[in-house]
Structure 1
Amino acid sequence: MSTAIGRDELISRVGRADSPHRLLSTLATQLRRVVPYDAAVWRSTDPETGMITSPIFAENVEDHSCAVYWQYELFTEKINLFRDLALAPVPVASLWETTGGEPERSSLYRGFLAPRGVHDELRAVLRVDGRPHGYVSLFREKGRAEFNTGERRFLEDLGTPIARLLRAYAKQRPEPSDDALTGTGLLLFDAAGALVSANDEARRYLEEMPEGPASLTALGIRVPLWVHGTAMRARAIAEERGGDTARIRMRTRTGRWLVCHASCLREADGRVGVSAVIIERAPISDVTPLVVQAYELSERELEVTQRVARGLSTSGISEELHLSPHTVRDHIKAIFEKLGVSSRGELVGQLFTEYYEPVSRSSTGRRG
């Protein structure tokens, strides 16, 4: 089987997954047949901030180790950083190649990989339209050959198709439910990253999180890596170690959209103190861009859609965007085809209502 055929077949099989978590697990199973590895971590990312979000799928890596790995990424590592790869012409790199066969130059290798018997790491950013939708870390143990050029290129060729598939899951609507998550969840992490306090709302939100690597805290609460990672990112920002926001959008087990953001406080003497993490329902303004990207609307189509949502007529949109009425109608037709709707009301309901406020199980009316 040639590499090209293997790639197409792999993408076809992965594309049949019914959820992003299933996609990652299927991708892992299929990729291992072409690019052998001993352990891996597959992470979804928020395309706006590049921060890890749900879901995350780990293979042969302990939950606690996933958090330790990410601490190196945020605080000490300088080589092959994901945020750098996200902007690089080629968003794939191996530790062995980048260091010229001297992986000990990497703090991650010295403190995390080598003690666990890892010989080489191949990492990649899955991106489409310039936005990252996932991070991949593949590990090979000592005694095995380092990742080669062909394997790196195979993973590179998968990047955009897989990112497009991950992006498309934003089209999945939340499951109907009578139990609405409300209120503001608050968690406090100390300077060492340990959870020290959480309110009742935060506990309820955490109970609705999907499966994935999590830390069991002294409070008896399991904190998913993507939530813990937001707290760590806030601390890194406070220590001026890159980035300017600690914020992600994430989904519950039933598909409801939440936003998680964090800020690091300082003590009276200026030292970094606790990190406060807030979890709450995502506003419509946060959800809509993800859904629009999932339907692959162009920038102009998005501009037209926004004005349709405001109730502007074809002539009103034409005047505001300096387009002919004929061109506006063409854009609206293309938008309808992409979203599978036949009226402006359906369009507004699908993009701005159904993904945010699904009907309850007890409701018998039509959505939207």
Structure 2
Amino acid sequence: GRPSPARGMEPSTTIAHNDRMRGSMEAALEQLRVETRSSVVAFLPITQRVDARFHYGELRCAADGVTRRGIHASAVGKPIPTDWDPELPVLGDVNRVVLAAQRIHAEGGRLESRQAYKAIYAPLGLRDTLRALVYDGPRCVGWFGALRAGDAGSFSANDLVAMERGRDALTTHLIAESRRDVGIFDGCPAHILCSDQGAILGACTGARAWLDAERAARIREVVRHAVRAAPEPVYVVGHVAFHVTRLHHEDSRVVYLNAPLGTFASVHASTALTRRQREVAELASLGLTAAEIAEELHLSVHTAKQHLRAVYLVLGVHRREQLVAVLDPGSRG
């Protein structure tokens, strides 16, 4: 097979490589938005498998710069709850790019029966989507597309032509990103899907090999906190920094943990902390009390205690000795 360009790279090199690619991709997205007169344009690489049935992807919207993560059921698997519900193609379809206009509100539109899809997009005033599904041989590697608000009307045949003109750059990005990411997390945790009670519903191959009883217990702690409160953006489990996303669908809640591209098992745990949390953690590791930390950082004692609690929660530690070991892995001997 084709070697992965990112395999063996240092994390900083990998991140720089991704930044260059994404910068070029964002320029292509902006051109697509202008040419199709869209309210929002989006780009979704399907980069990882979560066991045999599910794929992980990131939806990046150029309009607000927000990345929305989600799990996608493959055509051979049962759909699971997610906070957005794009249609996926038949896996046996060998077309490299498939373009389709999909009405959200229009009478008789294809998506009229997709209640989960409408529940997300209709309240936002979106009326129509124009999406290109991209294949690498028989494998769907993602899609890019445009969405239009109600007052902008529906997409026309001319808009479809504009997307056809601009498809090459985005298609190239999707295929390159998908090929590069295949297998990059082998032996390293990457993607874990949990119920709102912390039960593990699915995980990639590397995560399944990595999960032991202690780490599974830590996952349950993280998930239960993320469900009942505003979650911290990142939690450390076994010295790996996981991003945490809550996915809602009707009355069910699912929590998704992922270590994104460029995050490896060797990543320093303190990278999960905010700047203020790092300051608090470093002072606490030196033995300062909450009152002393508050004085040093010009905070109230109450605020210092809140930051200290967040540090312990994010890093999964309970004593100062554990905090020292996490911040300085060499201190564990």
TM-score tier after normalising by the smaller chain length: 0.3 to 0.5
TM-score when normalising by structure 1: 0.40
